[in-house]
Amino acid sequence: MAEPKPVVTEGLTKIYGDFWGRQKVHALVGLDLGLERGEIFGLLGPNGSGKSTTIKLLLGLIFPTAGRARVLGLAPGTTAVNQRIGYLPEESYLHRFLTGGETVDFYGRLFGLDRRERRRRTDELLDLVGLDDRARARQLREYSKGMSRRIGLAQALVNDPELLLLDEPTSGLDPIGTHEMKDLILRLKSQGKTILLSSHLLADVQDVCDRIGILDRGQLREIGRVRDLLLVRDIFQLQARGVTPQAREAILAAARKAGADIVATEHPTTTLEDLFLRVVGAEAKGRPDVRGPGSKPGATGAAAPGSPAARREPLFEPEPQSRRQGRATTDDHG
């Protein structure tokens, strides 16, 4: 028997009413959607388009006005489903008095993991999301926004879920943190996980998603593979190195002779993200290591040498124990 699709919706509709029960806001209208196993699906749309409503319906946090949804073949919100999925909300409301390590351990307890398995998963996940030994020993109230996103993703992965629902996963991250988060999402896909990613940051979705759906005013306006939707079919592009001015003119002349309409001839440009990572990475290489003798180089666990994750600076400097109490949230690269 074939395994059910991770997510299926049929005519899924959510209408919010006013105090008198009159229909007021059509948050989602007739959504038909099906996710394939092992893919990253991006749900795009402006604020108020229905992205968060869709995720809440799939989590069973709210109920549809009409239509139906199935998650891993079952009704959303059931214990059987919740044990097999992970969720990263746009804002992670975690226990601020717990440390990073205690937070992952706490959620491991909720999933019934024994002590040895919790210890193993805690070390594995905190390495995966790039929180070093000092970061995992700090209370969450001292975490910056980037660090909070990292620990939020770690708790979403505690149960080794088949399906991940990520709501604005790069929210609040700087360019390096965003790049690392996208690399991590791709790594999770390589492990066979299915990921539903909701975002309004188009570049982030384009970099990692296999397919996208565009919501606007509660309706699905477009759906398809990213490359197919972005491909400009009536324009041919040729890129070559070492072309002399004479060769360039000969190529253009041959194209015109063949009846082509020359739209533009220009040098390609890199992206601002690539430029930023290259500049900041080169600058970081020339700085002395200020992490101290007790820290672990490359504490991200899976970062390749020379990658943005490997080049990332320490999240914070060591400080006396007496100053930890009431310390304000600090800024970092994550």
283 belongs to a structural domain = no
CB 88 within 8 A of CB 72: no
312 belongs to a structural domain = no
pLDDT tens digits, residue range 300-329?
444 444 444 443 333 333 444 444 444 444
Q: What is the CATH number of the domain that holds 147?
A: 3.40.50.300
Structure confidence at residue 77 (pLDDT): 93
First to last CA, the chain: 43
Q: Pairing mode, if any, of strands 211-216 and 40-44?
A: parallel
Q: Tell me the pLDDT band of 332, cut-offs 50, 70 and 90.
A: very low
Q: Exposed, middle or buried by CB within 10 Å (0-12, 13-18, 19+), for 46?
A: exposed
Tokens of 9: 């919706």
pLDDT tens digits, residue range 54-110?
999 999 999 999 999 999 999 999 999 999 999 999 888 889 999 999 999 999 999
Structure confidence at residue 104 (pLDDT): 94
Q: What is the pTM of this model?
A: 0.74
Domain, as residue range, for 89: 35-62+73-230
Structure confidence at residue 160 (pLDDT): 93
Q: Is 233 left (phi over 0), alpha (psi -120 to 50) or beta?
A: alpha
Residue 105 or residue 233, greater confidence: 105
264 belongs to a structural domain = no
Structure confidence at residue 300 (pLDDT): 40
- Number of structural domains (the chain) is 1
